[in-house]
Structure 1
Amino acid sequence: MTILSVMENELTGSLPSTTELPNLEMLYLADNNFSGPFPSFITNASKLSVLNLGLNSFSGIIPSAIGKSWRRISYHELVRATDRFSENNLLGKGSFGSVYKGRLDDGMELAVKVFHLDFEEAVTSFEAECEVMSSIRHRNLVKIISCCSNDDFKALILEYMPNGSLEQCLYSDNNVLDISHRLNIMIDVASALEYLHFGYLTLIVHCDLKPSNVLLDENMVAHLTDFGISKLLGEEKSMTQTQTLATIGYMAPEYGREGRVSKNGDVYSFGIMVMETFTRKKPIDEIFTEEMSLRSWVGDSLCETVMKVVDTNLLMDDEQFSKKEECVSSILSLAMECTRESPEERINIKEAVNRLLKIRVNFLANEAMARRRRQPN
């Protein structure tokens, strides 16, 4: 047996301690009512790479096999690491929490997301993030290091991203993101979405894609974060209803009208984010009205000249102007296909990834040719 899933079955009781599962790679026990000690047979499952034990009532000592990927960090350590959650260490605020930069006694840097427990939704958001992020692994998802929870305090401890968010980089005065940077970031985000939609046993819908939820590491590799309103849909579900409101401007029409959540909604949000990344215009910018949205503005430009809407920071090299225009036109055309009104008519994220990769190959080939032409004989 390599995969075992008994999620969402209302199972009770304790798990056997003598089970031998040496080939087990994925174990999903979440959302039952198991009790007793943590399953000790995990210790012998040397091939185990995915583990989800959330929403149960296990007790006792955590086996070392689980502890390998989770570091125990106490509340007092977090207080020291963040200088008592000083404003000087505040990285940003969201609807349900604040994120602080911290440094542990051993020098390890981290980000601490402290949930505002004054809001009833904050506990639900914390539990949702714990459930999703504790069991998924992908190079373009922010890694959870640990969590800290008691009646008065709940926090997630995440890997620190030194280059901040895509939103911060896009709108900073010293914006250094060229076409290649932005295209690579969009490919990273699309790859993370492809994993959530197709690469995991349970379909995960992020529900809140936007530039502030895309973080950049020291190499400018993008990592998707903030799963506070994400939804896990079982194999029999491709769509569900929710009353949780996503971010205005990025949410799909069917999400705003009917609360319909599906992977097609994530694709819509991704398309809006692509448009914003290459135009440097937010979907709620003051230039947009009921008559003209970011999508219609971009769509009209594709019929004329796309360079009317493109971020002027991308137009520096006149020699490459036509190739840049061709590249950005292809990217924005894809974004238009992601944001069609009907969910069923949108492309899926697999196709988006493949097409973005082809666009990058062509753009890099053109850049290489231009460099060779500039070199002296």
Structure 2
Amino acid sequence: MGALLLVALMCFWGCFLYKKLGKHEGGSLAMDVSGGASIVMFHGDLPYTSKDIIKKLETLNEEHIIGSGGFGTVYKLAMDDGNVFALKRIVKMNEGFDRFFERELEILGSIKHRYLVNLRGYCNSPMSKLLIYDFLPGGSLDEALHERSEQLDWDARLNIIMGTAKGLAYLHHDCSPRIIHRDIKSSNILLDGNLEARVSDFGLAKLLEDEESHITTIVAGTFGYLAPEYMQSGRATEKTDVYSFGVLVLEVVSGKRPTDASFIEKGLNIVGWVCLLSSSVFVLSFIVFVILFAVMPNLNLSANEFEVKQLSAKPL
């Protein structure tokens, strides 16, 4: 009888700890900010005090989660005046994390571009970093392509590709220092209310590296989008980002994920699948057109001129 009671007590205690710790890990942020937190804002255009923001952070729980990924859990933060922000929670890695993290965030916070998600600031707490971004009501490109009944028309798809290309080009050529994204994929392309693209999560891959490393050698990214040379060497460059962008273009054009089950059954990914289709002059010409439209928008081409809507009637 005593043994059964002991087992019952252990089970009860285990369940208690699981609920408490588990809820905190992916749910409530109250514990993150209760031990002392400070707000750092990069753009002085928000009419809130640090106290206002921290008070709102304390109310967030699992009901406010709108996404999660390799870089952390994302919450929807609604202020009293109706403004909405996206909050990404990143757990601290080690004792030296603070100094390195804050240095990198100062760089990311200085970047403002039409086709990049704007980092407004962050909350520095003892347990985590809470990154404050503009909220994009259109969700992700992944959701728009694969999870919604209403399909994107061809003009919208071309505009999304072009916007993504411009955002990526800005990171590669106009930022100082230049930024390699390392995880270009449809779920990292967010859409505003007009279906205009914003590249998100840029610069975050570097935050998870050893601050003493001067060469990017840790493979980050998502299977299906990674360049072969990146997987072999672990060294990310602008070219490996461009490869991932090319995969994204194929995904947008075909409406299929890079690791669609129909590809896997044949031992292929979306790149191999398109290579098989390249015998079709129409399909190959269309893909070339889309890429040219994205990287050279001054060509002044339109979807109607190329009659791309014919493609919707053709099985890819």
Q: What corresponds to 1:281 in structure 2?
A: 256
Structure 2 counterparts to residues 6-45 of structure 1, below 5 A? none
Q: What corresponds to 1:210 in structure 2?
A: 185
CA contact (8 A) 1:163 1:220 kept: yes
Listed as ranges, the gaps of 5+ residues in structure 2 are: 1-39, 208-213, 308-316
- Cα distance per residue 1:60-92 (max 9 Å; x no partner): xx9x9x6525776647635536x8323332110
Q: What corresponds to 1:355 in structure 2?
A: 296
| Offset at residue 328 of structure 1 (A) | 4.6
SS in 2 for 1:173: coil
In 2: Cα distance, 1:127 partner to 1:72 partner: 21
CA contact (8 A) 2:165 2:295 kept: no
SS in 2 for 1:98: strand
- Cα distance per residue 1:300-331 (max 9 Å; x no partner): 21212656xxxxxxxxxxxxxxxxx9645522
In 1: Cα distance, 2:101 partner to 2:74 partner: 13
Matched letter for residue 192 of structure 1: G
Matched letter for residue 137 of structure 2: P
| Offset at residue 146 of structure 1 (A) | 1.8
Distance 1:78 1:103, change over 3 A: farther
CA contact (8 A) 2:154 2:303 kept: no
Q: What corresponds to 2:85 in structure 1?
A: 110
Listed as ranges, the gaps of 5+ residues in structure 1 are: 1-61, 232-238, 308-324, 335-350, 368-377
Distance 1:243 1:281, change over 3 A: same
In 1: Cα distance, 2:228 partner to 2:269 partner: 13
In 1: Cα distance, 2:251 partner to 2:50 partner: 39
Match of 2:275 among 299, 307, 322: 299
Distance 1:102 1:131, change over 3 A: same
What is the number of equivalent residue pairs in this alignment? 260
CA contact (8 A) 1:209 1:266 kept: yes
- Cα distance per residue 1:12-51 (max 9 Å; x no partner): xxxxxxxxxxxxxxxxxxxxxxxxxxxxxxxxxxxxxxxx
Match of 1:246 among 213, 221, 237: 221
In 2: Cα distance, 1:108 partner to 1:242 partner: 39
| Offset at residue 127 of structure 1 (A) | 4.8
In 2: Cα distance, 1:101 partner to 1:134 partner: 20
SS in 1 for 2:278: helix
Q: TM-score, normalised by structure 1?
A: 0.60
In 1: Cα distance, 2:181 partner to 2:47 partner: 25
In 2: Cα distance, 1:186 partner to 1:353 partner: 6
In 2: Cα distance, 1:94 partner to 1:120 partner: 20
Aligned residues with identical type, % of pairs = 32
- Cα distance per residue 1:85-129 (max 9 Å; x no partner): 233321100123111112112221111111234x669x5896586
| Offset at residue 361 of structure 1 (A) | 1.6
SS in 2 for 1:204: coil
In 2: Cα distance, 1:90 partner to 1:197 partner: 31
Q: Pick 1 or 2: higher relative contact order, CA cutoff 8 A, min separation 6.
A: 2
Matched letter for residue 234 of structure 2: G
In 2: Cα distance, 1:92 partner to 1:209 partner: 17
In 2: Cα distance, 1:84 partner to 1:352 partner: 45
Matched letter for residue 296 of structure 2: R
Structure 2 counterparts to residues 25-174 of structure 1, below 5 A? 68=44, 74=50, 77-78=53-54, 80=56, 84-117=59-92, 127=102, 130-174=105-149
Match of 1:264 among 239, 242, 245: 239
